[in-house]
Amino acid sequence: MNTTQFTACLQHVAQGMIASEPRLTALDQVIGDGDHGIGIKRGFTALQTLLSAPEFSPADIGDCLLQSGTRLMTSMGGASGAIFGTLFRAGGKGLAGRRELDAATLAEWLEIGMQAIHQRGGAEPGDKTMMDALAAAATRARSDTALPLSEALANCAQAAMAGAEGTSTMVARFGRAKNLGERAIGHCDPGAVSMALILQFMAEFTH
């Protein structure tokens, strides 16, 4: 997909994330402080405003990601504002100048995002964060680089959701759920579900 299509894709993602607010709120009420859905809704509403402004004309895929990430980071708040902002901003810097998002570029973005988020917050797969969904998606994307983007995205989204569901058996080592210790077992990490939903809405856009 080209930059214009990618902008439309992110608009679809924003719409979907805003509509997912109740689900994400419910998850964060169980193992966090209950504000994840509100933060996601605030961030993606601000993103929607950016993407639909007549003066928004990103130079390329990287620029679109970078501007989107800055908007998310400055509006969403909480741990997830920094984390998801980093996913988009680091991807934007890494993909500067790219005019086409294909399956290989998607794999690059997820890989860059993972490294940047690890550097920022220290989380690794297994710590019960969004990293568990992102790592599962990145692994899948790495083996799907020859597929059409729509298929790669569908596989990634599925892997990410399985990764998010897998957080339910984990004890958290980051974020507020850390304070719950073993009591967090049996509940999914809200940020991991958000990560999977972002990919799911991207996949939905391409189908």
Nearest residue (CB) to ligand ADP, 131 versus 141: 131
Q: Is 133 exposed, middle or buried (0-12, 13-18, 19+ CB in 10 A)?
A: buried
Q: What angle is formed at CA 203 by the lines to CA 197 and CA 204, rounded to 5 degrees? A: 85
In a 3-state reduction of DSSP, which class is residue 100?
strand
Smallest gap from residue 166 Cβ to ligand ADP (A): 13
User: Total number of residues binding ligand ADP (CB under 6 A)?
Assistant: 24
CA distances from 162 to 11, 47, 54, 193, 195 (A): 25, 27, 38, 9, 11
Binding mask 106-125 for ligand ADP (x = CB under 6 A): -----------x---xxx--
* Category of 45 on φ-ψ map: left (φ > 0), alpha (ψ -120 to 50) or beta: alpha
Is 161 near ligand ADP (CB under 6 A)? no
Residue 192 Cβ vs Mg ion, minimum distance, rounded to whole Å: 13
79 binds, among Mg ion, ligand ADP, none (CB under 5 to 8 A by kind): ligand ADP
Q: Does 189 bind ligand ADP (CB under 6 A)?
A: yes
In whole angstroms, the minimum distance from the beta carbon of 3 to ligand ADP comes to: 28
Shortest reach from residue 101's CB to ligand ADP, in Å = 24
Q: Which of 11, 27, 32, 62 binds Mg ion (CB under 5 A)?
A: 32
User: 37 is in the binding site of which of ligand ADP, Mg ion, none (Cβ under 5 to 8 A by kind)?
Assistant: none
Residues 1-24 as b/e (b if ≥16 CB within 10 A, e otherwise) read: bebeebbebbbebbebbbebbebb
If one asks whether residue 36 binds Mg ion (CB under 5 A), the answer comes out as yes
The H or E element spanning position 172 is: none
State the residues that interact with ligand ADP by CB under 6 A.
28, 32-33, 35-36, 39, 78-80, 83, 117, 121-123, 129-131, 174-176, 189-192
